[in-house]
Chain A
């Protein structure tokens, strides 16, 4: 690797090496799809339990997030690149660690009073919007930015709807913020030229 280079070869080498350090979209996609589909299934499950079966403890479906958090932590530790720290990787990690704590604190707040659950969904949608919008800006991925903005609009609409419809609106918010952008990231990967 020590032969003389022409300027064009130098530029090609720079381009090839920089491509090797680019954050792999796939690393982020898996989280959006996992959490998107999990929360989507949970919210529809809660809707069915409450609106159709009139089950009193409908909100218990959300306990599924506890094993999901454990799975996420194990997966992240197993797949984290330990040999290089990238700016994008660090930013995404910091953002979603903060979001995770925010979701947890929000859950503590809404479970502290019986009426808490009745007002919770606009705040969850608001946080989905924030996380997705900032992620989209970090990754420079427009569908995610648009998903985040759409969620802010849905968060503003949500309090005006009856509680059962708020659940369905939250499902729509999850589709727009996590699931659709997550699947579009898959297509994005297919167009990325492999690094030489």
Chain B
């Protein structure tokens, strides 16, 4: 039905992740989990898909002896997100 929309972004959880990351410099995995309400497993899979698409960067590091996963949107991700919003507007304009 919405075949022109970017299939990577046209998924609830991936779109939620990108929408959160567009508003911050970077965010921890726990922040994304809390704000989306997703399970860690599902979130992890979707984060990986966004990373493979080059839309986000994922940095795994240690902070105060605890593992920390930081996610950050890339320039490619920003462009894709902007294009997705433009495409949505196009659909809504036609409706």
Q: Name A residues whose Cβ lies closer than 8 Å to a Cβ of B.
A: 1-5, 7-8, 10-11, 13-14, 16-18, 20-22, 81-87, 90
Contacts and interface: CB of A to CB of B under 8 A. Distances in A.
A10 B10 contact: yes
Interface of B: 1-2, 5, 10-13, 15-16, 19-20, 22-28, 30-31, 34-38, 42, 84-85, 88, 91-92, 95
Given A7-B2, A18-B19, A1 B25 contact: no
A21 to B, nearest CB: 3
Contacts of B11: 2
B20 A7 contact: no
Contacts of B38: 1
Contacts of B91: 7
Contact of B25 (A5, A16, A87): A87
15 contacts: A2-B13, A2-B42, A3-B12, A5-B10, A5-B12, A7-B2, A7-B88, A11-B92, A17-B19, A18-B23, A83-B30, A84-B28, A85-B24, A85-B25, A87-B24
Given A17-B19, A18-B23, A83-B30, 19 more contacts: A1-B16, A1-B38, A2-B12, A4-B1, A5-B10, A5-B12, A7-B91, A10-B88, A11-B88, A13-B15, A20-B35, A21-B20, A21-B23, A83-B27, A83-B31, A85-B25, A86-B23, A86-B24, A87-B24
Given A1-B42, A17-B35, A84 B24 contact: yes
Contacts of B31: 81, 83-84
A85 B31 CA distance: 10
